[in-house]
């Protein structure tokens, strides 16, 4: 079993050697800039950890895991644009449109999404790309409800905006490991709890979302509940889940 840090290193190494479509030409630079923003790679690491826990092969799961990171990165590049969140910085660096201009950032986001599908389609099994398409559409639906203020049911909006990619991380890990559909629900339920946990911690750190709606103490209770639920789900899963357990602990204790 590789540790979470070792899985993260595998993701970084794969990203470093990833070749984009040659027709993109010099658009490659903004793509790499956005991907090298030093994120935690939590979604691809979760995907690989699930694949390994389900007795899958990490190298075989890597393209799917990285495709998911490309979708996540596409959403950040577009979210940062003036038309949406208008964020000039991302993780201490100029965001893509500040570094390259709005038009290039727009195209770079589009290209990241298309590259994600190209990577997902490197598998013989189209279910990998299908999982990615469904999760991407759910995420976009959540963003739409967010910007239009249709967020009365905050849990539902966050389940779409964040939860769908977490769920896909688990789903892609299972599919690359060859876990049949019938055996997937308990794993996916774990992914759902992890998504709630991640988002509630995010909201506490950013002072928005759940933290703004129910207060920091309320959001902290949500974190504790989701962590407990996630750990309980792990107990019932077939496979060696110590790395997944470490991911839960790490996400619950996260301070940045």
Residues that bind its own copies (CB under 8 A): 20-21, 23-27, 74, 78, 81-84, 97, 101-107, 109-111, 113-115, 117-118, 121, 123-126, 129-130, 133-134, 136-138, 140-145, 147-148, 150, 160, 164
Nearer to its own copies, 96 or 241 (CB): 96
Q: Go through 151-180 and write b for each residue having 16 or more CB atoms within 10 A of its CB, e for each that does not.
A: beebeebbbbbbbbbbbbbbbbbbbbbebe
Decide whether 18 or 107 has the Cβ nearer to its own copies: 107
CB of 17 to its own copies, least distance (A): 18
Residue 23 token pair = 């027709």
Nearer to its own copies, 143 or 227 (CB): 143
Nearest to 2 by CA among 244, 253, 186, 252: 244
Shorter beta-carbon distance to its own copies: residue 44 or 142: 142
For its own copies, the closer CB: 101 or 207: 101
- 110 versus 228: smaller Cβ distance to its own copies: 110
From the CB of 116, what's the least distance to its own copies, in Å?
9
Give me the least distance between CB of 61 and its own copies, in Å please. 18
CA distances from 203 to 18, 90, 209, 215 (A): 32, 17, 5, 10
């Amino acid at each position: 079993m590789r540790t979470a840090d070792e899985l993260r290193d595998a993701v970084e190494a794969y990203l470093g050697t990833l070749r984009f479509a040659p027709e993109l030409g010099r658009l490659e630079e903004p793509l790499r800039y956005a991907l090298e923003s030093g994120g935690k790679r939590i979604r691809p690491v979760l995907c690989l950890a699930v694949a390994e826990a389900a007795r899958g092969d990490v190298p075989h799961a890597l393209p799917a895991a990285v495709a998911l990171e490309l979708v996540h990165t596409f959403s950040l590049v577009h979210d940062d644009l003036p038309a949406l969140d208008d964020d000039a910085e991302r993780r201490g660096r100029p965001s893509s449109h500040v570094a390259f201009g709005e038009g290039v950032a727009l195209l770079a986001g589009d290209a990241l999404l298309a590259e994600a599908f190209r990577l997902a389609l490197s598998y013989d099994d189209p279910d990998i790309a299908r999982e990615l398409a469904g999760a991407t559409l759910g995420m976009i639906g959540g963003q739409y409800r967010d910007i239009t203020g249709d967020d009365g049911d905050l849990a539902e909006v966050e389940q779409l905006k964040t939860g769908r990619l977490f769920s896909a991380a688990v789903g892609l890990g299972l599919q690359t490991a060859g876990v049949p559909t019938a055996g997937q629900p308990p794993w996916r339920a774990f992914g759902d709890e992890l998504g709630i946990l991640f988002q509630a911690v995010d909201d506490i750190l950013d002072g928005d979302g759940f933290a703004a709606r129910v207060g920091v103490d309320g959001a902290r209770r949500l974190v504790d509940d989701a962590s407990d639920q996630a750990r309980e789900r792990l107990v019932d899963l077939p496979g060696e889940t110590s790395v997944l357990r470490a991911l839960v602990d790490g996400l619950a204790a996260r301070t940045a």
